[in-house]
Chain A
Amino acid sequence: MGRYVARRLLQMIPVFIGTTLLIFLMVYALPGDPVRGLFGDKGASPQVIAQLRHEYGLDQPILVQYWHYMRDMILHADFGTQVASGRPVTDVLGSAFPVTLRLAAVAFAIEIVLGIALGIVSGLRAGRATDTGILLVTLLLISIPVFVLGFILQLVFADQLHWTDPSVNDPTNYGQLVMPGFVLATASLAYVTRLTRTSISENLRADYIRTAVAKGLPRRRVIGVHVMRNSLIPVVTYLGTDIGALMGGAVVTERIFNIHGIGGTIADAITRREGTTLVGLVTILVLVYLLASLLVDLLYAVLDPRIRYA
């Protein structure tokens, strides 16, 4: 187990270097320059441009820039400085990350609780009216685009019913995060429901379940322990990869509800060609993805005793 984890952690290093280098090169390939962009339509003083480019190391070859960046990041945990604001990227990360974490946590909780519960109900009643109903609802949730759902919920619950505020004014208030969390979770929620349902209805017909029922185990134990444990493997796989998507892919939801999280920060960094900010943000997301997939793999062993990591 320990060796397995160590090996997995070591494997992260080339992935990490590869992704950061790729992003660095891609930002570099885009037309436009973060320093020139500061001046907009108006002409700029060439002396100041030269000074700024020098300060941020933009006058050096791209690989040298990458080398300096990685060196500072690894040795000093220094992710560089934003060109426009002059704020350290760690600062930017520090203010955006907690917000995103909270939103992702709310969405993730909604996704797990609602998704798995609906999945179990519909899996146990496969083929009946409840099942068809739930399948229809999930189909609907998958097919409505996020911004449509966002605006509809905003209109109904904030404008007409006045149950909640239309936007998030205080990102530490979990009450305000429920609506955006739900919007963010909808598509994933529908997938989780469908995965759980299929998996459960399949396992219900498995031999070991028939054995458990024949042994005279109470139904609650058969479903809660024997069916669930095995059925959750595909669901956990999906949930693990979804964490990253919930964090980095929330751009649309963040915009609708005025949440200043990672997604919007990434989008801004791209339009301003701020390679350093972008790489810093994506690095963290890559780490989240890698750790989440490691966690998922370890969870397999918990869920299925046949899986062992030497």
Chain B
Amino acid sequence: MRGAKSAKWVAIAAVVALGATACGGGSDDKGSDSKAAVDPNGKFSVEVGEPQNPLQPANTMESNGSIVIRSLFSGLVDYDSSGKIVYVNAQSVDSKDNKTFTVKLKSGWKFHDGTPVTADSYVKAWNWAANPANKQTNSFWFSDIQGYDDVAPAKGKPKATTLSGLKVVDDNTFTITLSKALPYFVYKLGYEVFDPLPESFYKDPKAAGQHPIGNGPYKFVSWQHNKSIEVAKFDGYKGPNAAKNGGVIFKNYTSLETAYQDLKSNNVDVLRQIAPKDLPVYKQDLGDRAVDQAYSAIQTIAVAYYTKQWKDIDPKVIQGLSMAIDRNTITKTVLQGTREPATGWVAKGVLGYQPNAAGDVTTYNPTKAKALIKEGGGVPGNQIYIQYNADGGHKEWVEAVCNSITNATGVKCSGDSKADFQADLNARDAHEVKSLYRSGWVLDYPFNANFIRDLYGTKSDGNQGGFSNKTIDSEIAAADAAPTLEDSEKKYQEIEKQLPNYMPSIPLWYYKVNAGYSENVTGVKYAQDGDPILTGVQVKKK
């Protein structure tokens, strides 16, 4: 029931490194065999890596840190598994015009140090994080709020240090004014960058990053770098997702293989991923403790529209290339069932997901592929390259996709490997991609706009391929200006339905969680961002 996280790229690199699994239905509801008695104070351990950043909510972009942050902090809202909003710390978030939002907090909430959570805890935290002087990696999330350009101007000195769009009304109420209306802004509020901070944070933010004090279901106990992070149940927690266990130990692993060995010996209780080496056997090893379920992330091949090759291309050519990829066979063989063929640009588990949005563009059809490419004037140079990072385990499927394209259409295709993710990003940022490149996306918030607006708008942050289309841009603007959330969702659905005519990228497949848990725990479920839901885990009595 958890969602929203930005740039889970570390995990992507690792997840993608996974090669394999047997194909199976996503039965995610296996953990409730509560034959053994449950110990409500029992602690369990989860496999994570060392968080890259200090544990400050607005400074955590990668998955190792964000799973810890989300155990320690609770924000205003959260999502359920179908992508609907659930209020956590907020009593209500109302707006008449989708531009000014009034947030009412539930009263009586406290931080772990005993100080109350007030409207000021939010407003001050957001102002602090939005200020570039505080160097928070997620600060651009506040750019929707009025006054952001004064706090963080693109050029020149900042004119203000606080966002003019945030106003405290009373202890439990504050208002957010956006620079322009955004019907799904409430969805963004579920992201941990919008968490509140206690007064003690500002005295020494650096120390607070090592010893965070939050308002979430768990309180911080200790962080032994490169070894473990321990959190314990916070008894004063008032939210709907109170912990059903005594606490969590985030155990640091550098390799998934080792974590899996430890899982089999019950030395670690919950895994987030299974290593490629163990994917063929993990279902036999773990039985019904093996987890295989879809989550909201998609792999695509993006087109570098700034290159000579694609600058003035007829979208039919890209459609043809897309139809030349045999997604079913590749996900079943090369990727051993760890992916599910994509049928659109928006991933499953997101509000506004529609099956088969791309129509027949994602169906394998060699004859039609050939015809489309011919109709569109052919691929310039009759040769394409797919850029990928060699440290992410992408090589195998890139080769398979290339073979599929060449066999079906005769277009020559080869992989363009960059040594690692850094080098890959560097080439993308510098607009040095030769032809096509691999691009993965994990949801930030479970609303379809995240998969369309943030990737294919001309000025979007995630648009690295230079795709630009006036019709799409104006329709995105119209969808953002829609009077209600439902209208906006529908408009984005219509945009997705039109994307086959423009082909900003070639959708390949959706990700799946392949994970497992030990004999010590029950009730382990995974949210649509692929992470286990920690508060719901129950520890068996020993």
Interface residues of B in 376-409 (CB under 8 A from A): 391
List chain A positions with a Cβ less than 8 A from chain B: 30-33, 36-48, 50-52, 55, 84-87, 91-92, 95-96, 151, 154, 158-159, 162, 165-167, 169, 171, 254-258, 260, 264, 271-273
Given contacts A86-B54, A256-B255, contact A39 B422 (CB under 8 A): no
Contact yes or no, A169 B267, CB < 8 A: yes
The 15 listed contacts between A and B (C-beta, < 8 Å) are A37-B422, A37-B425, A38-B52, A38-B61, A40-B12, A40-B425, A41-B12, A42-B461, A44-B137, A45-B132, A48-B140, A84-B53, A154-B261, A264-B254, A273-B422
A19 to B422, CA, bound (A): 24
Which 4 A-B residue pairings sit nearest by Cβ, starting from the closest?
A43-B461, A32-B422, A40-B9, A260-B226
Contact yes or no, A32 B265, CB < 8 A: no
B50, B137, B252, B253: which contacts A48 (Cβ < 8 A)?
A: B137
Chain A residues with CB under 8 Å of B51's CB are: 85
Contact yes or no, B426 A32, CB < 8 A: yes
CB distance from B505 to the nearest CB of A (A): 13
Contact yes or no, A31 B426, CB < 8 A: yes
Contact yes or no, A32 B425, CB < 8 A: yes
Contact yes or no, B258 A86, CB < 8 A: no
Q: Mark B95-108, 1 if CB is under 8 A from A, else 0.
A: 00000000000000
Q: Which residue of A51, A55, A95, A154 has the most chain B CB atoms within 10 A of its CB atom? A: A51
With an 8 Å Cβ cutoff, the count of chain B residues facing the other chain is 57
- In the complex, what residue of chain B is closest to A155 when comparing beta carbons? B261
Assess whether B439 is interfacial by the CB under 8 Å rule: yes
Label chain A's interface by main secondary structure: loop
CB distance from B191 to the nearest CB of A (A): 12
Taking A166-B265, A258-B253, A258-B259 as known contacts, 16 extra A-B pairs with beta carbons closer than 8 A to each other, sorted by chain A number, are: A32-B422, A41-B12, A41-B440, A44-B137, A44-B140, A48-B132, A86-B53, A95-B225, A95-B226, A96-B226, A167-B253, A167-B267, A256-B255, A258-B252, A260-B227, A260-B252
Assess whether B371 is interfacial by the CB under 8 Å rule: no
- In the complex, what residue of chain B is closest to A45 when comparing beta carbons? B140
CB distance from B492 to the nearest CB of A (A): 19
Assess whether B363 is interfacial by the CB under 8 Å rule: no
Contact yes or no, B254 A258, CB < 8 A: yes
Contact yes or no, B426 A33, CB < 8 A: yes
Assess whether B520 is interfacial by the CB under 8 Å rule: no
Contact yes or no, B262 A166, CB < 8 A: yes
Given contacts A30-B423, A166-B267, contact A48 B254 (CB under 8 A): no
Given contacts A42-B461, A46-B154, A85-B54, contact A159 B265 (CB under 8 A): yes
List chain B positions with a Cβ less than 8 A from chain A: 6-10, 12, 50-54, 61-62, 132-133, 135-137, 139-140, 143, 152-154, 206, 209, 225-227, 252-255, 257-259, 261-262, 264-265, 267, 391, 418, 420-423, 425-427, 429, 439-441, 460-462
Given contacts A31-B426, A52-B135, A166-B258, contact A47 B154 (CB under 8 A): yes
Chain B residues with CB under 8 Å of A256's CB are: 255, 257-258
Contact yes or no, A38 B53, CB < 8 A: yes
Given contacts A36-B425, A165-B265, A258-B258, contact A45 B61 (CB under 8 A): no
Chain A residues with CB under 8 Å of B262's CB are: 165-167, 258
Contact yes or no, B261 A40, CB < 8 A: no
CB distance from B522 to the nearest CB of A (A): 23
Q: Which residue of A39, A95, A171, A272 has the most chain B CB atoms within 10 A of its CB atom? A: A39
B133, B264, B423: which contacts A51 (Cβ < 8 A)?
A: B133
A42, A158, A254: which contacts B7 (Cβ < 8 A)?
A: A42
A42, A52, A171, A258: which contacts B6 (Cβ < 8 A)?
A: A42
CB distance from A133 to the nearest CB of B (A): 32
B7, B265, B427: which contacts A41 (Cβ < 8 A)?
A: B7
A36, A91, A158: which contacts B429 (Cβ < 8 A)?
A: A36
- In the complex, what residue of chain B is closest to A265 when comparing beta carbons? B226
A47 to B429, CA, bound (A): 16
Contact yes or no, A84 B427, CB < 8 A: no
Chain B residues with CB under 8 Å of A154's CB are: 261
A39 to B440, CA, bound (A): 14
CB distance from A87 to the nearest CB of B (A): 7
A169 to B391, CA, bound (A): 27
Contact yes or no, B439 A41, CB < 8 A: yes
Chain B residues with CB under 8 Å of A255's CB are: 254-255, 257-258
CB distance from B65 to the nearest CB of A (A): 9
Given contacts A45-B152, A46-B154, A86-B209, contact A257 B7 (CB under 8 A): no
- In the complex, what residue of chain B is closest to A92 when comparing beta carbons? B225
Contact yes or no, A85 B7, CB < 8 A: no
Chain A residues with CB under 8 Å of B267's CB are: 165-167, 169
A44 to B154, CA, bound (A): 12
A36 to B140, CA, bound (A): 14
CB distance from B507 to the nearest CB of A (A): 16
Chain A residues with CB under 8 Å of B422's CB are: 30-33, 37, 271-273
A84 to B53, CA, bound (A): 5
Chain A residues with CB under 8 Å of B136's CB are: 48
A213 to B190, CA, bound (A): 85
- In the complex, what residue of chain A is closest to B56 when comparing beta carbons? A86
